[in-house]
Amino acid sequence: MSAIVLKPDIYWVGAIDWAIRDFHGYEVPHGTTYNNYLIVDDEITLLDTVKYDFAEVTIKNIRNLIEPSKIKHVVINHIENDHVTSIDRIMGLTPNATIYMTERGKKGLGRFFDISKWGIKVVKTGDILHIGKRTLLFLETPMLHWPDSMMTYIKEEKILISQDGFGQHVASAERFDDEFILHRSLSELEDAVVDYYANILMPFGNLIKAKVAEIQKLGLEIEIIAPDHGVIWKKYPQKVLKMYLDMAEGRADLAVSIIYDTMWHGTELMTFPMMEGLKEEGVECRVIKLRSTPISIAIKEFWKSRGSLIGTPTLNNLMLPSVARFLYQVRGLRPKNRIVGAFGAYGWGGGSVREAYEEFKKIGLETFEPGLQILYKPSSDDDKKCYDFGREFAKKVKEYHLKYQ
Ligand code: FEO
């Protein structure tokens, strides 16, 4: 496809991956894009590359604008494979170009490629590169979300090339936020931002707040935020910045996600009266069955809700593996300011609910105790217990939510 103009002589030259569904274990039901950018100034500069499978696509996009051998500078903001694995193809076309990256980026790149043949200049926050009419300013963003990560600010154009930050895993025909909102919807775009944040950036809220404060202190005005995935924030960059700051503060909806799995429907039958109890207290309720839902969506809904009820039957005295996997993944994401409870059906010894609480404590979540276990399938009395459990949990969530208002 053709390069897309961000501003005169600044182009998106990336690739759309319609087909990907498994992004190193993160399920991406809407595909993704690998964005990279070309500045045609006195000294032609490429910002980032793309996943190896799409090297030919980006090279063709570049060739539609200039001969790749004319690229003088290549900025590598992040060395994860989806952004760097076509670097050897690019450098093969312009072997005298200089690569700009962080110290950790250089060390990491050396684990993937023989870098002895390339000229690499290490940069740090505040370093600048003049490329003609434009100036690039580098900003290290360590652990956002890899140690090597950085962003590049194009001063004269007020464009922030933000690598993974502010991205979304969405493959779409639209390259810009306003087009996407026009043809699809704002809520779909916001949902994609939350999904990405929840599944990738959730552990780094404090770092995000500090980095945004640093950018503000530097007095950098931002007209466009151009991430390495999804649409470019051309019309609403302040919106995504605000969303990030809210999420970094742990913002959540006054809502409860019931996230469960079930063997013979016993645990599933518990969700219905529980949902009614939650609703009776005026708390929004979302219900997600693991194994029927990509785990990334379950994580997103968990993150969006102030409270979650985790349902798991007992299998061999333990949680059902799908629920254990979900909680294990949540543990790695280190969520804060969320409250949880557990419930489930059992046949003889039980144990899954106890185990779920042990996991909650490892994660560091606020807990609503005790949980609720029922034998085989809910009786009418059990339905009442489930309703009350949902209702009491809703009251607790409302009280807990007040702390964050
Ligand atoms: Fe899109 Fe951290 O790679």
Active site residues: 24, 78, 80, 82, 145, 164, 196, 229
Q: Is the CB of 169 under 6 A from ligand 1?
A: no
Evaluate whether 401 touches 366 at the Cβ level (below 8 Å): no
All residues at 6 or more sequence positions from 310 whose CB lies less than 8 Å from its CB, including other chains: 259, 260, 323, 326, 327, 340, 341, 342, 343, 356, 360
Ligand 1 atom closest to the CA of 229, numbered from 1:
1
User: pLDDT, tens digit, for every residue of 83-108?
Assistant: 999 999 999 999 999 999 999 999 99
State which residues of the chain have pLDDT below 70: none
pLDDT of residue 215: 87
pLDDT of residue 310: 98
pLDDT of residue 2: 75
Ligand 1 atom 2, closest CA: 80
Ligand 1 atom closest to the CA of 163, numbered from 1:
1
pLDDT of residue 225: 97
Which residue matches tokens 């003049």? 130
pLDDT of residue 186: 96
Q: Is the CB of 148 under 6 A from ligand 1?
A: no
Scored b (16 or more CB within 10 A) or e, 376-398 reads eebeeebbebbbebbbebbebbe
Evaluate whether 313 touches 345 at the Cβ level (below 8 Å): yes
Which residue matches tokens 């140690």? 147
Evaluate whether 322 touches 236 at the Cβ level (below 8 Å): no
Torsion of CA 383, 384, 389, 391, to 10 degrees: 120
pLDDT of residue 216: 85
Scored b (16 or more CB within 10 A) or e, 349-365 reads ebbbbbbbbebbeebeb
Q: Is the CB of 355 under 6 A from ligand 1?
A: no
Residues pairing with 289 in the sheet: 260
- Interval between CA 27 and ligand 1 midpoint (Å): 14
Evaluate whether 248 touches 206 at the Cβ level (below 8 Å): yes
- Interval between CA 83 and ligand 1 midpoint (Å): 7
Of 311, 266, 325, 259, the residue nearest 286 (C-alpha):
259
Which residue matches tokens 């993160």? 26
Q: Is the CB of 195 under 6 A from ligand 1?
A: no
Residues in the chain: 405
- Interval between CA 16 and ligand 1 midpoint (Å): 15
Residue 120, φ and ψ in degrees, nearest 5: -120, 130
Calculate helix-pair angle for 321-333, 352-363, nearest 10 degrees: 10
